[in-house]
Structure 1
Amino acid sequence: MLRTILMLNVAPERVGDVLQRYDDEQILQYSLDHSDAISSEISVATDAAGTILVTAVWPDQSAYDGWVENPFRASSNGRLAELLKDSAVGIGRTFKIVHEVKKS
């Protein structure tokens, strides 16, 4: 399995706008419904620095690549870019999950 981490750099006063965009467009839900993603989350830095992490778990690299190539992702990235400091959404870093534990 694979975890992707996408870091969005946002002016602190625009964090709410980015979160609202994710909610309005149902970006996380769309990605689950139209890809092989297993789960996804959006997190906000607790120090109010304006950093947002979008993370997801995928069965493999090809599943993530399929999402990266999805036309919806490209169009939503364009709308998100106007809210970001560096005006680019980019591609998430990928990490192989090598060990996992869960409460039963």
Structure 2
Amino acid sequence: MIRTILTFTPDPAAIEEIERIYAAGDVLAYSLEQTRALASELAVDIDDPEHPEIVVTALWPDEAAYQEWLDHPRRAAAAPGLPELVGPVGAARRYEVRQRVVKAEDQSVRHDV
């Protein structure tokens, strides 16, 4: 399993617009629907409001699944206007998930990897 982490450090005034672009294009859901991704999140740094960082993470079953997203012909079109706010969107950092637990709806915890 692979976790990708993509970070942006935009102008603080651009945070709401970046969130709006992600929401308007339903970017996170689109990436899940168009690929084999398992989960995706967008988080905004709340510790440093003067230099906030945006972190976009995704969980993939394997490297090939992430590569499918990088190669997807409509990937760039999924978030029009984003590069102007954050600069060119490149590849995320990749991490191999070696241990993982999840909480089920019944609140039980299960090991997943």
| TM-score, length-scaled by structure 1 | 0.91
* Contact 2:25–2:79 under 8 Å retained in 1: no
For the residues of structure 2 that align with 1:98 and 1:51, how far apart are their CA atoms?
26
Which structure 2 residue ranges, 5 or more long, are not aligned?
A: 109-113
1:62 matched residue in structure 2 = 64
2 CA distance for matches of 1:70 and 1:79? 18
User: What is the rounded CA distance, in whole Å, between the counterparts of 1:14 and 1:56 in structure 2?
Assistant: 22
Q: Distance in 1 between matches of 2:78 and 2:11?
A: 19
Which structure would you say has the larger RCO, counting Cα contacts within 8 Å and 6 or more residues apart? 1
Following TM superposition, the consecutive aligned residue runs of length 4 or more in structure 1 with deviations greater than 3 angstroms are none
Deviation for aligned residue 1:50: 2.5
Gaps of 5+ in 1: none
Q: Quote the offset at 1:79 in angstroms.
A: 2.5
Structure 1 letter corresponding to 2:85: L
* Residues matched between the structures, number: 102
1:94 and 2:107 aligned = no
Q: Which amino acid aligns with 1:45?
A: D
SS at match of 1:83: helix
- 8 A Cα contact 1:77 1:89, kept in partner: no
> How well do the aligned residues superpose, as a CA RMSD in angstroms?
1.3
Structure having the higher Rg: 2
